[in-house]
Amino acid sequence: MKITIIGAGNIGSSLSYALILRELVSQIVLIDINEELLIAKELELTQSIAALNLNIDLICTQDYKYTQNSDIVVFSAGFVRKDGQSREELLKLNASILLDCAKKIKEFIPDPLFIILTNPVDFLLNTLYESKLFSPKKIVAMAGILDNARFKYEIAKKLNVKVSRVDTRLIGFHNDDMVLVKSHTKVNNKNIDDFLNEEEFEDLENEVKTGGAKVIKYLKNSAYLAPASACIRMIESIRSGEFLPMSIILQGDFGVKNKALGVMARLGLEGVIEIMKMELSAQEKEKLEQSLIKYQYKGGKE
């Protein structure tokens, strides 16, 4: 498998390193506008490949011609949100970068599986869809897997259990309006209601929603190891066939048409294969409905 990663910053380089460690690829193309950064990453990553005695080719370049025949393109370039900056401002900045990079990719790869990691992921996915550059089912965004990982982590920490004993699902947007699907959350095959009351679950929900902010507080930078790991899980799911939370372009599911929203879905190199059908509780339906109205996916008052 050949994977192109656009953006050699913290997430892009961490993802490259994880792909090497997991031996998921035969070739990685790492693209960035910063030549010195590319030189440094090429040294680090090729020496890592040598240390592990692996047969993986790495190309660190500014030239998109090397992306040809890539099976997957991962977009991790762009700006992170600064204090006082609105989501609309961030979207405008990163949408411009995304479209510029996507058009360059299009010259060499007609229709790759294109995964967006840059924020705001759901709305950047809308931007890419509206550009009509690639097939709608082949453009997706990673965020739900990261949010779901934080969900599992908080439950495991709260109840002092192994994360492998926690089963969670999550839908909606990658922001404070995400919907933690409590009705499908289990610990040791028992519903979460057997362990947490409503108030305790709400407290836990807040911890999940502020998971990224907590990293920024102590690291003074946005998270990158967990997002890269979440993307690895997404790529590995192409082989395993498991359902995972991801943002995709919906065609009527949950009442959303021609817009990006996080749902439980299965992914292949050919794109989105299947969307999980889920029965939501009345409260979960209401939360999702309100978020759809808020972001003008549906009519109504904000």
- Separation between Cα atoms, residue 194 and residue 180, nearest integer Å: 17
184: annotated active-site residue: no
CATH code 3.90.110.10 region(s) in the chain:
144-295
Note whether 6 and 77 are within 8 A (CB): yes
Residue 32, helix vs strand vs coil: coil
Which residues, in sequence order, are CB contacts of 170 under 8 Å at separation 6+? 144, 147, 148, 151, 178, 179, 180, 181, 245, 262
Per-residue pLDDT of 14-46, as tens digits, reads 999 999 999 999 999 999 999 999 999 999 999
| pLDDT band at residue 83 using 50, 70 and 90 as cut-offs | low
Superfamily of domain 2-141 in the CATH hierarchy: NAD(P)-binding Rossmann-like Domain (3.40.50.720)
Residue 11 annotated as lining a ligand binding site: yes
Residue tagged active-site, from 174, 182, 184, 259:
174
Q: Is the pLDDT of residue 50 over 50?
A: yes
- 22 belongs to an annotated ligand binding site: no
Residue 266 marked ligand-binding: no
Nearest to 260 by CA among 147, 119, 150: 119
pLDDT over 70 (residue 211)? yes
Q: What is the CATH number of domain 144-295?
A: 3.90.110.10
pLDDT tens by residue, 169-200: 999 999 999 999 999 999 999 999 999 999 99
Helix, coil or strand: residue 77? coil
233 marked ligand binding residue:
no
- Please answer whether residues 167 and 244 qualify as being in contact, where contact means their C-beta atoms are separated by less than 8 angstroms: no
Q: Would you state the pLDDT for residue 81? A: 74
